[in-house]
Amino acid sequence: MFKIALLPGDGIGPEIIAEAAKVLRAVGDKYGHELEFKEGLIGGAALDEGGEGLPQDTLDLCRQSDAVLMGAVGGPKWDSLPGNKRPEAALLGIRKALGLFANLRPAKVFPALAGASSLKREVVDGIDLVVVRELTGGIYFGQPKGREGDRAVDTMAYSVPEIERIARVAFELAMKRKGRVTSVDKANVLETSRLWREVVIRVSEDYPEVHLEHMYVDNCAMQLLRDPGQFDVILTGNMFGDILSDEAAMLTGSLGMLPSASLGEGTLGLYEPVHGSAPDIAGKGVANPLATIMSAAMLLRYSLGLTEEAARIEWAVGTVLDQGYRTPDIAEEGCVPVGTREMGDLIVRAIQS
């Protein structure tokens, strides 16, 4: 039996998590796996219930599970709270508590959606890349930080072990893909980037089958728009990865199509869509569940080791899109409009077929 913790969160979170769980159940039934689901509170929903965005009960549930599938957190209702009390702070908290240091953000363009990108079809056709972002170090966590009078300080810091472990994640992933790693830094300016480059080169010696290249972050931002097809695995630090993964995401045409995985040393991982809680459409049944459904596919692949089952979900998503079904965010002329629940049902049927 596999134990999966569901953290629906806020806004459209409960709707999209319901569809992803439905798809996971369908995969379990088809392949003979027993899946046990238990729900926990996180974000604004947890704040409203007990005054904490990340309750201890939720952390306990996650640690007792094989994987965690999360919806989205936050919304205007909680915007007036201090930064460390807002729902979004629970994201940093759960990543740290579970030891999740590697964020995988795939950006893949489905042929049926190539026309939805803001770039020309010939530029985005066939894009299939992954940004591997270091998640628990760098400028977001470096000390000292704060304000002194009219001066503010943030410190970027990385240690050799931090760089080594994220680099190995990227090289191991590239071994299963097209065998290319682009390490992104700012080594012409930053000492942390010079250390980053030295360590990545040293780690690469353990992976002679993988081609390594280095790229400055500003050039990478430009190349993602000029020739995104050149990339396979992009390896980078916390802040650069935060920015570049959002840029790569927009190549696909919709945030509603983008999954993510946050991984640590073991098999436990946290899986969530890239998009936010979208409170303006919550409860209307129009949210796109595909990013969450594909996050569930990543959960099967990376935490449960079920690669065939993960591929079945991804195939089902492509099949349903090829048939012309679209939620409002990816709608185009001549498509068949469907809502959140209908899209989930279509994916289930494709899996069962």
User: Closest Cα to residue 329, out of 295, 271, 284?
Assistant: 284
Q: CA-to-CA distance for 68 and 299, rounded, in angstroms?
A: 8
pLDDT at 116 (0 to 100): 76
CATH 3.40.718.10 placement within the chain: 1-101+264-353
Q: Is 232 among the catalytic positions?
A: no
Instruction: Walk along the chain (353 residues) in steps of 10 and give the mean pLDDT of each run.
Output: 97 97 98 97 94 96 98 92 84 91 93 81 88 94 92 96 98 97 98 98 98 98 95 97 90 84 95 93 96 97 96 96 93 91 98 94
CA dihedral 163, 216, 113, 302 (to 10 degrees): -10
Find all residues with CB under 8 Å of 223, minimum gap 6, and list them.
215, 230, 231
Q: CA-to-CA distance for 299 and 6, rounded, in angstroms?
A: 12
Q: Is 218 among the catalytic positions?
A: yes
Catalytic site residue from 242, 271, 302, 329? 242
Catalytic site residue from 218, 227, 280, 322? 218
Catalytic site residue from 186, 302, 325, 329? 186
> What residue type is 304 in one-letter code?
L
Q: Is 140 among the catalytic positions?
A: yes
Q: Is 206 among the catalytic positions?
A: no
Q: Is 48 among the catalytic positions?
A: no
Handedness of CA 27, 30, 31, 32 (dihedral sign): positive
Q: CA-to-CA distance for 78 and 275, rounded, in angstroms?
A: 18
CATH code at 1-101+264-353: 3.40.718.10
The third-level CATH classification (topology) of the domain covering 128-250 is Rossmann fold (3.40.50)
pTM recorded for the entire structure: 0.92
pLDDT at 118 (0 to 100): 77
∠ Cα 137 182 296 (to 5°) = 65
Catalytic site residue from 140, 154, 216, 345? 140
Query: What are the tens digits of pLDDT across the range 297-342?
Result: 999 999 999 999 999 999 999 999 999 999 998 888 889 999 999 9
CATH 3.40.50.2300 placement within the chain: 128-250
